[in-house]
Structure 1
Amino acid sequence: MAMHQAGGSSEDESSPMADINVTPLVDVMLVLLIVFMVTAPMMLVGVPVQLPRTAAARIAANTPPLVVTVAPGGQIYIAQELVPEAELGARITALRTGEAEDAAVHVCGDRTVPYGEVLRVLGRVRAAGVTRVSLVAEAEAVPAAAAAH
């Protein structure tokens, strides 16, 4: 055992520090958490519309679908891009070439849009050769009394 000099330190001041400082790691993780919390709502695809409600269960998808939206004014969007109705079929065909050829198309129509307009858009999607087409709706709120049975 070595004897220490009186008044001297037990460690040499030039030796490396053995403690791990986790404060910078925690700071970086909290900043990343805040960034993801702020940007996650902005990652939604499509135009915001008020979807009709339904009690049907959700369908799981392997590939992300192509979203066609009929906005309250009757405008048609693919994702967030405004598309004239006459060009809808050609645009869908162009977007579904290559890897996305088997991708489904989801048609979203605002509640205020007449059902006939949504079906007309659905018909144009089907005319473009799409076989997997779905209408999108919000899940209906189930009353507590009905959920118990």
Structure 2
Amino acid sequence: MSTAFSGRRARRKLKNEINVVPYIDVMLVLLIIFMVTAPLLNLGVEVDLPQSNARGINSESEPVLLEVTQDGRYFLKLADAEREELDEAALMAKMGAFVRANPNVPVYVAGDRRVEYGVLMQGMALMQQAGVNKVLLMSTPAAETR
């Protein structure tokens, strides 16, 4: 008893469209990755430091940094915190609170070489008014002359 086989196979109907679901999945994963990492980017402020022959200072802890840009804006970077732009009143308030919690903390001032002297001195005076006892100026090493 053999069964007759007609020789015809059942053909699957071919789809002529592109499956975009995997591409959408990849795009959503990339979107999530960029959304998570974007706030973590630490965009620095361009400060062109003057040159000097002064010795470097060794510090065990992360320094407190006050940056004064060419156009006179103040950026404060406290230890273990993000760098943020502050006006004079907010700068004094934030540094005053930080100094009360951390007395005798040195503050490094990175003033752009093109900043006006008065703006840099105003930033240093704000640090003194906030209670900072030690204000240090930052510079880049001078090119050695031969």
Letter matched to residue 85 of structure 2: L
**Pairs within 5 Å for 1:75-94:** 75-79=73-77, 80-94=83-97
Determine the structure 2 residue equivalent to 1:109. 111
Q: More helix by proportion, 1 or 2?
A: 1
TM-score norm. by structure 2 comes to 0.62
Q: Please say if 1:135 is aligned against 2:137.
A: yes
Query: Partners in 1 of 2:112 and 2:133 — Cα distance?
Result: 23
CA RMSD of aligned residues (A): 2.3
What CA distance in whole angstroms lies between the structure 2 residues aligned with 1:45 and 1:120?
A: 25
1:74 to 59, 69, 72: 72
For residues 1-149 of structure 1, the aligned pairs below 5 Å read: 47-79=45-77, 80-98=83-101, 100-143=102-145, 145=146
Q: CA distance change for structure 1 residues 45 and 105 in 2, over 3 Å: closer, same or farther?
A: farther
In the TM superposition, residue 139 of structure 1 has moved relative to its aligned partner by: 0.8
Instruction: Report % sequence identity.
Output: 29
Deviation at residue 96 of structure 1 after TM alignment: 3.3
Which 5+ residue runs of structure 2 have no aligned equivalent? 1-39, 78-82
Give TM-score, length-normalised by structure 1. Answer: 0.61
* 4+ long deviations beyond 6 Å: 42-45
Structure 1: give runs of 5+ residues left out of the alignment.
1-41
Opposite residue 106 of structure 2, the aligned amino acid is A
